[in-house]
Amino acid sequence: SLLTSRLAMTKVLAVANQKGGVAKTTTVASIGAALAAMDLSVLVVDLDPQGSLTFSLGHDPDLITTSVHEVLLGEADIVDALVSTEDGVTLLPATIDLAGAEALLLMRPGREYALKRALATVAQDYDVILLDCPPSLGVLTLNGLTAADEVAVPLQCETLAHRGVGQLLRTVTEVQQITNPDLRLLGVIPTLYDARTTHSRDVLADVSDRYDLPVLSPPIPRTVRFAEASASGASVMAGRKNKGSQAYRELSDNLWQHWDAGKPLVTLEATV
Ligand code: ADP
Ligand code: MG
């Protein structure tokens, strides 16, 4: 039936890197908005107690009463926590309460599966579900990786920015061995990219070689307009013509062509 084929198609992508400031949240908000603008049904999940994704999508975490925290602990139904956003995506918001979820979940059996279980009840309503992981490799990121079909790793193209990649890849391998054998490592999303320097390109080539990882194309250029938009809490795609959102739209299109039509992912190796 239509419903069954739709269920099978829902794609869950985790965006993870234990390093902060590499544009995980910006990537989730931007890809989410771009996919929604393509008339796809999109759910984004804020797994960071800081609530940056929630805030950047126009919701004040301090005013949210039911959040991902209650959902993970089984104290609320996921549908009661979902909110709509101006960018056309549905949001499962986070509040600072989530900082306590780590400790509370640790005492529970099956703690890595809490998000997966909650998402299973609404997945059929969405084409794509994007998970914004916090800057750690704790139980919240493990929930994200356990619930996901695929994981993408945003990486700032600076010399030392990829120091933690090995550790993240080991966590992905452990998740594949224990809680989610089907998890696929999609590759690196180059962020805050400065195409004018050969340095950025060298770092990418080095990371790609060293960890044998695909580098998704196009890289997301550093744009001043981006920082302004997220600081004001305005729509991430508000500056629709800036180079950053343009790159995210192209990346989103590539991802959807890959998921929906089975096209090979566009990677940097393929384009240079
Ligand atoms: P993370 O979720 O990994 O901590 P964020 O998405 O919050 O990272 O981004 C960190 C900071 O970098 C934010 O202030 C954000 O506005 C800024 N930023 C993200 N992407 C870009 C970009 N392409 N150009 C300029 N600033 C960016
Ligand atoms: Mg973030």
Q: What is the pLDDT of residue 234?
A: 56
Which SS3 state, helix, strand or coil, does residue 14 take?
Answer: strand
Q: Which ligand is nearest to the CA of 49?
A: 2
Q: What is the pLDDT of residue 238?
A: 57
Q: How far apart are the first and last CA of the chain?
A: 42
| Any ligand 1 atom below 6 A from CB of 23 | yes
Q: What is the pLDDT of residue 9?
A: 83
Q: Which ligand is nearest to the CA of 56?
A: 1
| Any ligand 1 atom below 6 A from CB of 47 | no
Ligand 1: residue of 230, 236, 250 to mutate (most ligand atoms within 8 A of CB) is: 230
CATH number at residue 173: 3.40.50.300
pLDDT tens string, the chain, 272 residues long: the values are: 455 445 458 999 999 999 999 999 999 999 999 999 999 999 999 999 999 999 999 999 999 999 999 999 999 999 999 999 999 999 999 999 999 998 999 889 999 999 999 999 999 999 999 999 999 999 999 999 999 999 999 998 876 667 789 999 999 999 999 999 999 999 999 999 987 777 878 888 888 888 889 999 999 999 887 766 665 555 556 556 789 999 999 999 999 999 999 999 999 875 54
Listed residue (109, 2, 81, 89) closest to 39, CA to CA? 89
Torsion angle of C-alpha atoms 172, 173, 174, 179, degrees rounded to 10: 70
Tell me which residue range forms the domain holding 216.
2-271
Q: What is the pLDDT of residue 232?
A: 58
| Interface confidence (ipTM) of the complex | 0.99
Q: What is the pLDDT of residue 62?
A: 96
| Any ligand 1 atom below 6 A from CB of 26 | yes
Report DSSP letters for 208-234, one per residue: HHHHT--BBSS--B--HHHHHHHHHT-
* CA dist list (Å): 123 to 41, 128, 188: 10, 8, 25
- Structure-token pair, residue 178: 């224990």
27: CA distance to ligand 2 center in Å? Answer: 9
Domain tally, the chain: 1
Longest dimension (CA), the chain: 52
Ligand 1: residue of 52, 165, 226, 250 to mutate (most ligand atoms within 8 A of CB) is: 226
8: CA distance to ligand 2 center in Å? Answer: 29
62: CA distance to ligand 1 center in Å? Answer: 22
CB neighbour list of residue 227: distance below 8 Å, 6 or more residues apart: none
| Any ligand 1 atom below 6 A from CB of 143 | no
Instruction: Name the residue at shortest CA distance from atom 13 of ligand 1.
Output: 227
